[in-house]
Amino acid sequence: MRRLPFELFLGLRYLKPKRTFVSVITLISLTGVVLGVWVLIAVIAVMSGFDRELREKLVGMHAHVVVSGGVIAPREVERLVEEAERIPHTRAAAPFVLGLVLVEAGGRVATPYMKGVDPAKSVVVERVAKHVRYGQLDLDGEKVVLGRELAMQLGVFIGDRVTVYSPRNIERRGEEVYLPVELEVTGIFESGLFEYDAGLMFVSLATAQELYELGASVHGIEVVTDDPMRGAWQVAHALHGALAPPLRAQTWAQMNRQLLAAIQVEKTVMFFILTFIIVVAAFGIMSTLITVTVQKTREIGVLKALGTQSRKVLGVFLLQGFVVGVLGVALGVVLGLVTVANINPISQFLSAMFGLELFPKEIYNLPRIPAHLTWRDLVTIAGSALVICTLAGLAPAIRAARLEPIEALHHE
């Protein structure tokens, strides 16, 4: 202890536990910092986990880059596919057809998006196949693969037939009458995203082109890259320069930016709301230090009279707030990491104890609570808490540093 710097030595002496009201406030403040850091780490880890799960599901159902915006003629399709495949980071490119249709089965009606792909060339078929829960991803001929929620809405299962009406079945063109297409259900997929499970169906590219009277034309080009983030952005940027309006190239993140932004906003808002727990604890630290400076007024006066510099007195009380912050952050980080590592056993224990389902799987479509803590989030939380606790001691420290010896000792 005697080899410590003067400021730290004296600050630790002032923090030495005693049976006084000041020590009680210090313990309460320390507990507040621990709880704040603990809760922040747990909540941010869960929200980051949901964000990562969502991104994985979106990438699992999406191509990394999509060229769309109008009907693309056959020659233009070939040119764009060749152009995309020449760009670095591109793995594969293929055409697709996407549009709204009306589906009927047993008197039940739905209006999902129909996506036509070539099973031999499609860049998403292999990934969609991983989500098929019943049947198989068989699109040869007049067959269809539906989302689970859509299949339940229509009351169909593997082997049943659905009737599909396209825009041409609704429009009247003189005496011409277009009959709807009957398709056999060969597979039911479950992506975990309600929007896709309830509003998407896959058919062959030829079937979709026939329903939309496109001939050999398509609605867009899908591209898969070697990197869903940076690689996708580079490919989209390169393709955009080769497109004539109204066609445009977008990454999967740009097409889902509202959903991803909503989760990021929620995460940021939760961070600031829960940080107020630490701020409240910091006010406790400030109250403690104000009380200490009042109690130690005589000692501060003696130190100043003996020639102690004001910056050293300032450092004594700043270090007190810093030490409380370090202890609180350290304990909070340990508890937070333990909670994140055992989030699901803790959830199951609380569910059994209170008889409540804390994480309904049928609502979130996830088998467990996702928790993912990055080093960036951990450092941000710990650093913010430490800065807040240190700054809490600034006002009392400045008051103590400005105290004049005569003023401190005039009652003695």
- DSSP letter string over 87-102? STTEEEEEEEEEEE-E
251: burial class by Cβ within 10 Å (0-12, 13-18, 19+)?
Answer: buried
**Which alpha helices (DSSP H) does 296-374 contain, by range?**
297-305, 310-341, 343-354, 361-364
- Judge whether 222 and 93 are in contact, CB under 8 Å: yes
Q: How far is CA 52 from the centre of its chain?
A: 6
Comparing CA positions, the residue from 106, 212, 103 lying closest to residue 147 is 103
Q: How far is CA 289 from the centre of its chain?
A: 39
Cα–Cα distance for residue pair 256/315, rounded to 1 Å: 50
Cα–Cα distance for residue pair 50/61, rounded to 1 Å: 17
Residue 261 pLDDT: 85
Residue 1 pLDDT: 46
Residue 202 pLDDT: 94
Residue 175 pLDDT: 59
388: burial class by Cβ within 10 Å (0-12, 13-18, 19+)?
Answer: buried
Residue 307 pLDDT: 64
In 3-state terms, what secondary structure has residue 281?
A: helix
Neighbours of 304 (CB within 10 A): 23
- Each residue of 17-30: pLDDT tens digit? 555 544 677 787 88
- Judge whether 185 and 96 are in contact, CB under 8 Å: no
Residue 398 pLDDT: 76
Residue 301 pLDDT: 67
Cα–Cα distance for residue pair 251/6, rounded to 1 Å: 58
- Judge whether 114 and 208 are in contact, CB under 8 Å: yes
Cα–Cα distance for residue pair 251/365, rounded to 1 Å: 25
pTM of the model: 0.74
Q: Where on the phi/psi map is residue 402: left (φ > 0), alpha (ψ -120 to 50), or beta?
A: alpha
Amino acid at 174: G
Q: Where on the phi/psi map is residue 150: left (φ > 0), alpha (ψ -120 to 50), or beta?
A: alpha
Q: Distances in Å between the alpha carbon of 69 and those of 98, 198, 277?
A: 11, 24, 49
**What is the Cα Rg of the chain in Å?**
32
E-strand ranges in 205-338 read 220-225, 248-251
Residue 318 pLDDT: 78
| Residue 379 CB contacts under 8 Å (≥ 6 apart), including other chains | none
Amino acid at 216: A
Q: Distances in Å between the alpha carbon of 58 and those of 55, 131, 183, 257, 374?
A: 5, 12, 27, 11, 21
Neighbours of 193 (CB within 10 A): 21
Q: Flag residues of the chain having pLDDT under 70.
A: 1-23, 169-178, 295-297, 300-311, 361-363, 365, 401, 403-412
